Amino acid sequence: MAQQKNGQQEKWNHDIVLKGQAGDVTGASHTILWVPYTLKNGKLDKPLLDVAHPENDSDPSIQVSLKESIKGGPFVNKGSSPGHGCDNITCMGAGFTDPVNQHWYVNGQRVQLVVGSDPATGKPHLTWEVHVTRGEEGPRYFPVGQGDQ
């Protein structure tokens, strides 16, 4: 496993990952939904929630939390939401160029994010920390360090 900072290894979950899905775009504001999936044999298995029934997408037994570091500062709790994470990013205006790194958690355990996949194997590219850049076209997430695989 890659060396990572900011967190105790025993509090990391290797069986659940978050996969981003485009959400609403309102003017310069973009919303990315981070949906928890199980990881099986190195591949995405299934979402933790029953996506066929949208009324279940805010299951309070699944809390997704975000911590952010702005300009290399300490990681600060940005809150949690039931069922899936919601990253609201303003891509224009004051502060939109500030460097932001993120750590994500499911039920208090740090999880990896899917940042693409290998087209040959279908295995997801995973990372414990992402660097977010913002532009008029929307946010982009880049791995920091290396993931498990």
pLDDT (tens digit per residue) in 64-103: 999 999 888 999 999 999 988 888 877 666 555 677 899 9
| pLDDT on residue 148 | 47
Sites in the chain below the pLDDT cut of 50: 1-7, 148-149
| pLDDT on residue 145 | 76
Q: Of 131, 122, 129, 125, which Cα lies nearest the Cα of 99?
A: 131
Predicted structure pTM score: 0.83
| pLDDT on residue 93 | 61
Q: Please say whether the beta carbons of 48 and 36 come within 8 A.
A: yes
Q: Residue 113 and residue 124: Cα distance in Å, rounded?
A: 9
| pLDDT on residue 58 | 72
Q: Residue 32 and residue 88: Cα distance in Å, rounded?
A: 7
For the chain, how many helices (H) and strands (E)? 0, 11
Q: Residue 38 and residue 19: Cα distance in Å, rounded?
A: 10
